[in-house]
Amino acid sequence: MAQLFFKYGAMNSGKSIEILKVAHNYQEQNKPVVLMTSGLDTRDGIGQIASRIGLKEAAVPIFEETDIFDVIKHLEFKPFCVLIDEAQFLKKEHVLALTKIVDELHIPVMAFGLKNDFRNELFEGSKYLLLYADKIEEMKTICWFCHKKAIMNLHYINGVPVYEGTQVQIGGNEAYYPVCRHHYFHPEIKENE
């Protein structure tokens, strides 16, 4: 039975490598999948899923106007699974389209993304995935500064923590640390680090 899965974690929890691993496992068995990612993430080019360890795959970019249900419904093949990276950037309409893919087309969907932003607010996509997903799983990583589980994302510019600003600020290790709650409020960052 098809289900909607939401796998979330802080920065550096291995979300992109996991989605690429899942895609590889399906493809190795000659079971086609559809890889999708947010069109907002341009770090490795539009329509690319890239892990920090260097693996990369082309993906269908999702923009605000993209009708994901229509894209999947009109494929020339029926995928065994739809895999979505950077799912936090989805809009409510996108998440509802994912539920239709599961419920009407009977295709499982696995969405991977952050739960909360650097201001510690839910992303729109994450909020609706938490509400509509059949299964929710946390992908864990450790705090940049200690041994505790990282549950937040600390944004910094020139070694200085940033807690305000526009929600969508694309970046990787050069701009974000995965941190525990204590180090979110009390980071061990030195100016010009």
- Rg of the chain on CA atoms, in Å: 17
* Three-state secondary-structure class, residue 26: helix
Active site residue 86: yes
Is the CB of residue 159 less than 8 Å from the CB of residue 126?
no
CA distance 8 to 80: 22
- Of the residues 28, 64, 76, 86, only one is catalytic, namely 86
Strand ranges inside the chain, DSSP E: 4-8, 33-38, 48-50, 56-58, 60-62, 81-85, 109-113, 135-138, 152-157, 160-162, 176-179
Q: State the DSSP H helix or E strand holding residue 125, giving kind and residue range, or none if neither.
A: helix 124-132
CA distance 49 to 60: 10
Amino acid at 78: K
Q: Catalytic amino acids?
A: 86
